Amino acid sequence: MDSRMTFRDRMRSHRFLSTLLVVATLFVGILIGTIIQRGVKGATKAVNSSDATPLKVPAPQQLSNAFSQVAKTLEPSVVNINTESTPKTAANPHIRRRGQQGQQDNNNGGDEGDPFQDFFDRFFGGQGQSPFGGQGGGNGGTERALGSGLIVDSKGYIITNQHVVEKADRIRVKLDGDPPGVQHDAKVIGTDAETDLAVIKIEVSHPLTAAKLGNSDSMNVGDWVLAIGSPFALEETVTAGIVSSKGRDLPGGRQFQRFIQTDAAINPGNSGGPLVDARGEVVGINTFLISPSGTFSGMAFAIPSEIAKPTVATLIRDGKVRHSHLGVGVTDVTPENAQFFHLNDNSGAVITQVEAGSPGARAGLQIGDVITELDGKAVRDAGQLQVVVGQKTPGAKISLRVIRDGKSITLPVTLEEMGSHTVADATAGTEHGKARWGIGLTDMTPNIREELQAPADTKGAVIASVEPGSPADNAGLSQGDVVLEVDRHKVESAADVQRTLGNVAKGHDALLLIWSKGGNSFRVLHSPEAA
């Protein structure tokens, strides 16, 4: 009995010792953990973060106040433009002029041409459209349209888009703060089709508030911008967005048009209004949008201020702009082709075509040359080169740095006015300097053929321009049409057409066979002397 009690006592003793050991272990573990935790906290506090830049997130109220201040500053400089015009009846009712929409557009019929042809058809209230997208008139009646503009001089000079005022018989401007019904008659000072810019002027008895044109080159993708104008006739409308892209070159665009792309809402009626940066400076002139519906869908485009500034200054001074050209075709250097031109990066402009007798040809430029500098300034891409050259005065001498077969050479070039080499005006038989037929022509080149999507066997002269109100305009001829025959004689060049039309006797009409995207058709040019 005593031995069994002793055994139990021993067992109890072992259990007590085991429990005591477990408790002691836990205590020691907690103690060690506490010490380690304090050490880590101490190390964290010891880190020197005095050189770290504090993260500052602007309050929504600050951004709102900035937009509000910019809008208040610019609104007095933004105007509403209303135009009236009497459309001329074209010989071919299916011809679609820039800025016009025929019945086929309204009932989803008609041709299904290049969607970029609709850029000007859908320009914000351009000629032939009401501010709500339909015809302002019709059946020979007065057509009304609207756009926006920007005061750039306190004496009443206003910048807008050419397509807003072209062919307008009457232009009226409504200023910020004018009472309802008060409008000012405006006259066209000058227009430039290559940049789609125009300057108009109103007579005022007091100085107007002129906007400040900023530096579009300093803008970056992602920067905030505001668009101000009169969409759908709703004056002083302000929308906000960001710069989506810069230097945008679009199919169907002209040589000197490199756009700022933005997602700030732009709609019919905004055309000619300003795109403004966060400092309240104008960095672009809103021009068009891309949308299947004709209203804003996230992509709008503005002419950069760096293109607008010299163009406006020249239009105010001379009433027109004379653009220079090299007479070469260029394309961008890409990461894929740079190695073939012995280049270390993808900057520069590669020459793909040299027109015979052009300034570039006389200077010795060759296909495959890469132009990397112009007058000591780097050339980023083909678009920049074309814009810079186009802004030079015809006759100006420039210096080009060219990479040819891996070697750098410098070539002097004397520029010519664009059109002086490739474009021939059919002015034979002119009277007092006025073109007889009102048609400008250029030779068919592979690039032009590809752009027009003309058949390979189409030979003739391409219409480069049509003078408003001329026999060519009245016959319904449009830019991009191809003259195949004159008075049943085949022609293959601009010179052929110029010579043949020049031989037409005064008082006689001329018969032209024309190719356009709709096929071939005959058009009659009525003699201006017979009127």
Q: What is the rounded CA–CA span in Å between residue 526 and residue 523?
A: 10
User: Does 93 score more than 60 pLDDT?
Assistant: no
Q: What is the pLDDT of residue 121?
A: 43
Percentage above 90 pLDDT, the chain: 32
The C-alpha atoms of residue 317 and residue 319 are separated, in whole angstroms, by: 6
The two tokens of residue 118 are: 């609709």
Pick from 140-144, 273-277, 352-356: least confident: 140-144
Model pLDDT for residues 345-383, shown as the tens digit of each residue? 889 999 887 887 889 999 999 988 999 999 999 998 888
**pLDDT at 315 (0 to 100):** 94
Distance between CA atoms of residues 258 and 155, nearest Å: 29
According to the model, what pLDDT value does residue 96 have? 34
505 or 253, which is more confident = 505
What is the token pair recorded at 473? 């305009």
- Read off the pLDDT of each residue in 214-243 and give the average, rounded to a whole number: 89
Q: Would you state the pLDDT for residue 37?
A: 59
The residue among 287, 273, 74 whose CA lies nearest residue 158 is: 273
When the pLDDT of each residue in the chain is averaged and rounded to a whole number, the result is 79
Confidence of residue 86 (pLDDT cuts 50, 70, 90): confident
Residue 411 has pLDDT above 80, yes or no: yes
Please check the confidence at residue 109 and state whether its pLDDT lies above 50: no
Please determine, for residue 469, whether its predicted confidence score (pLDDT) is greater than 60: yes
Q: Kindly list the catalytic residues.
A: 163, 196, 271
Question: In this predicted structure, what is the pLDDT of residue 360?
Answer: 92
* Rounded Cα distance, 518 and 102, in Å: 15
Quick one: pLDDT at residue 38? 59
pLDDT of 51 higher than 70: no
Q: What is the mean pLDDT of residues 37-44?
A: 52
pLDDT at 427: 44
Q: In this predicted structure, what is the pLDDT of residue 58?
A: 60
- Calculated CA dihedral for residues 219, 221, 224, 225, nearest 10 degrees: 70
Q: Which residues contact 531 (CB under 8 A, 6 or more apart)?
A: none
Look at residue 490 and tell me whether its pLDDT is greater than 80.
yes
pLDDT for the residue 239: 92
Question: Residue 140: is its pLDDT beyond 50?
Answer: yes
Arithmetic mean of pLDDT, 171-188: 91
The Cα 333–Cα 338 span in angstroms is 6
Provide CB contacts within 8 A for 156, sequence distance 6+: 201, 202, 203, 204, 208
Pick the range with the lowest mean pLDDT from 290-304, 403-417, 436-450.
290-304
Domains along the chain? 77-202 (2.40.10.10), 216-318 (2.40.10.10), 324-417 (2.30.42.10), 423-530 (2.30.42.10)
Greater model confidence, 92 or 283: 283
CA 143 – CA 135 distance, rounded (Å) = 7
Give residue 130's pLDDT band: very low, low, confident or very high (50, 70, 90): very low
The amino acid at residue 59 is A
CA–CA separation, 63 and 392 (whole Å): 40
Average confidence (pLDDT) over 44-56: 58
Whether 252 has a pLDDT exceeding 80, the answer reads no
Structure confidence by residue, pLDDT tens digits, 420-433? 554 444 443 343 33
Find the mean pLDDT for residues 326-355: 85
Give the pLDDT confidence score for residue 462 in this predicted structure. 92
Tokens of 257: 């048009």
Are 448 and 455 in contact by the 8 Å Cβ rule? The answer is no
Is the pLDDT at 133 greater than 60? The verdict is: no
C-alpha to C-alpha distance for 242 and 264, rounded to whole angstroms: 7
So what's the pLDDT on residue 226? 93
More confident position, 450 or 46: 450
- What whole-number percentage of the chain has pLDDT above 70? 73
pLDDT score of 170: 94
pTM of this prediction? Answer: 0.59
